[in-house]
Amino acid sequence: MLDDKWLLSEGDIHVRVWMAGLVFDYAVASTAARGVVRDWQKRHWCTIEFLRDTAEGLRLLPRMPCERLFLGQ
Q: Measured between alpha carbons, how far apart are the two ends of the chain, in Å?
A: 18
pLDDT value of residue 8: 60
* CA angle at 58 for the pair 7 and 18, rounded to the nearest 5°: 70
Distance of alpha carbon 58 from the chain centroid:
12
Cβ–Cβ under 8 Å, residues 37 and 48: yes
pTM, entire model: 0.77
Residue spans of the domains in the chain: they are 12-70
Each residue's pLDDT, cut to its tens digit, for the chain (73 residues) gives 455 555 666 788 899 999 999 999 999 998 888 888 888 889 888 888 888 767 677 888 999 998 998 887 5
